[in-house]
Structure 1
Amino acid sequence: MECCNAEEQKHKIEELNEMMDETDRNIQILVFTKEMFNKIDKMIEEKNFSLENAILFLKNVGYCSAMKRIYGHAFCESLLNERFKKMIIEQEEKKEGKNESLLVDLCECFSLLNFYFISDELISICVPCLLKAASKKKESEEMQHEVEMALMALNYIDELFFIERELYLKEITEIIEHQRKNRNLTQLAYQSTWDFLIYRYRVDYSLEGEILNEMHLAREATKELEELTRNVDWKKKEEEMNKEEANAVLVICRWIQALSFFFENCLVWNEEYIELFSSIVQVSRAARDNYRDIGNKCISSLRNAAENCDVRVEDLLKSGTISAVSEEMQRRTVDDKIAFESLQFFSNVSYRLKEEERDEMEEAKRKATKRKVFEKLEEEGFEVIVISIHDIFNKRNRQIYTQLIMIVLLLILKA
């Protein structure tokens, strides 16, 4: 790069960006180092690398990192990180001649490449800036990509930071509302919008009303998962998929991970969850042969739902969740992880069925649900599951096998 002029650098960057899209995640982790970012900083300082070209390159590095879930401290610890911090603050403080486009680019690079977003001052600048960029309504392919980039950068802001609602809630709501009416966002951009909102819940539980009732998370996630699942030929191996299918699989994974977090932490039940559980079951069944990682994530998210005392066991039954987990445990190729998640699921269900209710009517309802669960497990052939898991765990993990027996004993207690 140092020996090239600006035009030659731009051409080389375009070639590098194409290579990065195809490069394995583990190789990228080895390449995206503190030394690399320091080298870029030095080249900018010595004017051997134009800022425009550096940003063009770094935006794609950040995008690839986000797409492939590459987390690390390389950029955070680099001199380039400090340069970008200073430039963002300087641009924001300008009374005249502020370069809005440059500020957006800097905020995108900074957010996508920072594993820890540690400055309240920078959050107060970057969040409104990225939301403004994400709110553009033009539907050209280039603009869609820019909006997607801004929303992914917004989503990458550390979820443990509390962000004042005034900085984002009105704008996020408007983006979601506009998408419902116009469908102008890519599926990845729309999922990133929800990702940002869902993970804000980690530090602001008062958001639950807006997320569930006003913006209808469960309904929207159900619709997106069903559409994405239809767009994938699940019989293909990963390497056989075209780019659209690979992107759909990526977005499905992101939805399942975000929903798993939400199921674990939500405090209020919503009837729309039944359809959402059904759509996760659909994904799990579709992915079980060639995409075991997705299947594992589905079972894990359903296990979190079963553990949550605000999720009704009856609705797990209605949605087909109990049948789906039973099916997973009976498969000959069931692995340790998914078997453990399934055991935890049934452990949670059995614990919930034993919970004491406040009055006789609720107790009668609990007993009826318990009987339905037991009948469903009998129908699914639960004794086959016991034998299957025994074959897997009897020698290697006595503790888990013992847990299984305890679960079975709890479930077969008379209602």
Structure 2
Amino acid sequence: MIAEEEKKKEGKSMKLLTDLYECYLLLSNQFDSELTLICVSCLLKVASNKDKNEETKEEVEMALLALRRIDTFHKIDEELYLNEIKEIILHHQEHRNLTQLAYHYAWEFLFYRTFHERSLVLVIANELHFVGEAVRELEELMKCVDWKREKEEDREKEKKEKIVKLRWLRIMEFFFFSCHLWNDEYSELVCCIVRMFRSAKYNNRKYSMKCIDLLKAASEKRAVKIGGLLKGGADDAVLEGIRQPTMDYEMAYDCLRFFMNVSGRLKSKDDETDEAKRKGLKRKVVEKMEKEGFEDVVVSFLEIFDFLRQKYF
């Protein structure tokens, strides 16, 4: 149908082509390179529409949903999308014209491209201010969602908003995965994840586990400084995770993996150029675990690490 519509010299329907491009990206498992580039060009034009009426918002959201379906294995040249997607994100940051879902889809499309273009991380961090946006969104979530509500009607009322806003946790997975730089500002992002964990740990197991998983992911990246993790309270949150009576295999694995990552990196001279600072951080972690009585707990987990890993996967 796309080929037939493209062949028309007169009466070509861009609305029909847009719908077909969206269907192609949403329903395909493998993407034809030439056709995919045509889809990207067309759908970015649709997504760049800045009108605030409901019909336009739906069209923009659908276009961005289709674009984020282009997987990480598919390389797209920067000149075909970067200026447009930057303009979409920056305009929303100033005017708030997108739906929350559309905004998430725009970020996900861009993060998928970092698998091929590492330089995009600088654009995401310095030009599009991802960390500040993520912190703002999570702070809003913690203000507007009462995790302790128990009535079914209250939970259903807030369910949609939680699902939409908590997509930021998934987007932060991409951020930590692709993170190749770090500065002190990013410690606030760790603080925010820790605060969300504490808000959810007794009332929403799924999201408290996701927060611990994010901290584990952060500890795996050499660009994420151990000092930044400790400053943000990541080690305290993980120790609280171990203390939970409802901790399951996945939580146990993530907690143990976090401390194994931290321990391994504090032993490595490559991870921290300042020898005195590295030893100081190591001493701080060990003393805290001894004080809280968790050193033996973590050591005991090592005995069943292979079992936990199998259960985790």
Alignment partner of 2:41: what SS?
Answer: helix
How far 1:137 moved relative to its partner? Answer: 1.2
TM-score, normalised relative to structure 1:
0.68
How far 1:195 moved relative to its partner? Answer: 0.7
CA distance in 1, matches of 2:73, 2:67: 14
How far 1:178 moved relative to its partner? Answer: 0.4
CA distance in 2, matches of 1:226, 1:104: 36
1:104 aligns with 2:18: yes
CA distance in 2, matches of 1:289, 1:190: 30
How far 1:387 moved relative to its partner? Answer: 4.7
How far 1:160 moved relative to its partner? Answer: 1.3
User: What is the aligned partner in structure 2 of residue 248 from structure 1?
Assistant: 161
Match of 1:309 among 198, 222, 232: 222
Amino acid at match of 2:304: Q
CA distance in 2, matches of 1:358, 1:204: 24
Q: Structure 1 residues 144, 199: CA separation in 2 closer, same or farther (over 3 Å shift)?
A: same
User: What is the aligned partner in structure 2 of residue 31 from structure 1?
Assistant: none
Q: Structure 1 residues 329, 229: CA separation in 2 closer, same or farther (over 3 Å shift)?
A: same
1:369 aligns with 2:281: yes
Q: How does 1:147-162 map to 2 (within 5 A)?
A: 147-162=60-75
2:173–2:217: 8 Å Cα contact kept in structure 1? yes
User: More deviation in 259-268 or 187-196?
Assistant: 259-268
Q: Structure 1 residues 94, 216: CA separation in 2 closer, same or farther (over 3 Å shift)?
A: farther
Match of 1:399 among 295, 304, 311: 304
CA distance in 2, matches of 1:388, 1:311: 23
How far 1:169 moved relative to its partner? Answer: 0.6
How far 1:261 moved relative to its partner? Answer: 3.2
> Could you list the per-position Cα deviations for residues 132-165 of structure 1 after superposition, in whole angstroms to 9, with x for gaps in the alignment?
1111111123322222121111111222100111
1:299–1:341: 8 Å Cα contact kept in structure 2? yes
CA distance in 2, matches of 1:322, 1:297: 15
CA distance in 1, matches of 2:147, 2:84: 36
CA distance in 1, matches of 2:238, 2:62: 36
How far 1:357 moved relative to its partner? Answer: 5.0
Q: How does 1:188-203 map to 2 (within 5 A)?
A: 188-203=101-116
CA distance in 1, matches of 2:197, 2:76: 34
User: What is the aligned partner in structure 2 of residue 186 from structure 1?
Assistant: 99
Identity, % of aligned pairs?
46
Q: How does 1:194-343 map to 2 (within 5 A)?
A: 194-236=107-149, 240-241=153-154, 245-343=158-256
Provide the aligned length of Structure 1 versus Structure 2: 308
How far 1:282 moved relative to its partner? Answer: 2.0
1:212–1:270: 8 Å Cα contact kept in structure 2? no
CA distance in 2, matches of 1:286, 1:170: 38
Alignment partner of 1:205: what SS?
Answer: coil
CA distance in 2, matches of 1:139, 1:226: 25
2:212–2:254: 8 Å Cα contact kept in structure 1? yes
Amino acid at match of 2:5: Q
1:92–1:125: 8 Å Cα contact kept in structure 2? no
Any unmatched runs of 5+ in structure 2?
Answer: 309-313
Q: Structure 1 residues 364, 96: CA separation in 2 closer, same or farther (over 3 Å shift)?
A: same
Match of 1:170 among 57, 60, 83: 83
How far 1:269 moved relative to its partner? Answer: 1.6
1:120 aligns with 2:33: yes
CA distance in 2, matches of 1:358, 1:327: 26
CA distance in 1, matches of 2:72, 2:142: 28
2:25–2:31: 8 Å Cα contact kept in structure 1? no
How far 1:388 moved relative to its partner? Answer: 9.1
2:265–2:271: 8 Å Cα contact kept in structure 1? no
Alignment partner of 1:272: what SS?
Answer: helix
How far 1:241 moved relative to its partner? Answer: 4.7
TM-score, normalised relative to structure 2:
0.88
2:25–2:70: 8 Å Cα contact kept in structure 1? yes
User: What is the aligned partner in structure 1 of residue 311 from structure 2?
Assistant: none
CA distance in 2, matches of 1:382, 1:249: 35
User: More deviation in 171-180 or 246-255?
Assistant: 246-255
Amino acid at match of 2:26: L
How far 1:318 moved relative to its partner? Answer: 0.8
Q: Structure 1 residues 153, 99: CA separation in 2 closer, same or farther (over 3 Å shift)?
A: same
How far 1:372 moved relative to its partner? Answer: 2.6
CA distance in 1, matches of 2:185, 2:298: 34
1:316–1:322: 8 Å Cα contact kept in structure 2? yes
2:121–2:178: 8 Å Cα contact kept in structure 1? no
Alignment partner of 2:119: what SS?
Answer: helix
Q: For CA contacts below 8 A with separation 6 or more, give which structure has more relative contact order.
A: 2
> Could you list the per-position Cα deviations for residues 341-387 of structure 1 after superposition, in whole angstroms to 9, with x for gaps in the alignment?
0100010011111111599x7101111222232344345x143x745
Any unmatched runs of 5+ in structure 1?
Answer: 1-86, 404-415
Q: Structure 1 residues 195, 388: CA separation in 2 closer, same or farther (over 3 Å shift)?
A: same
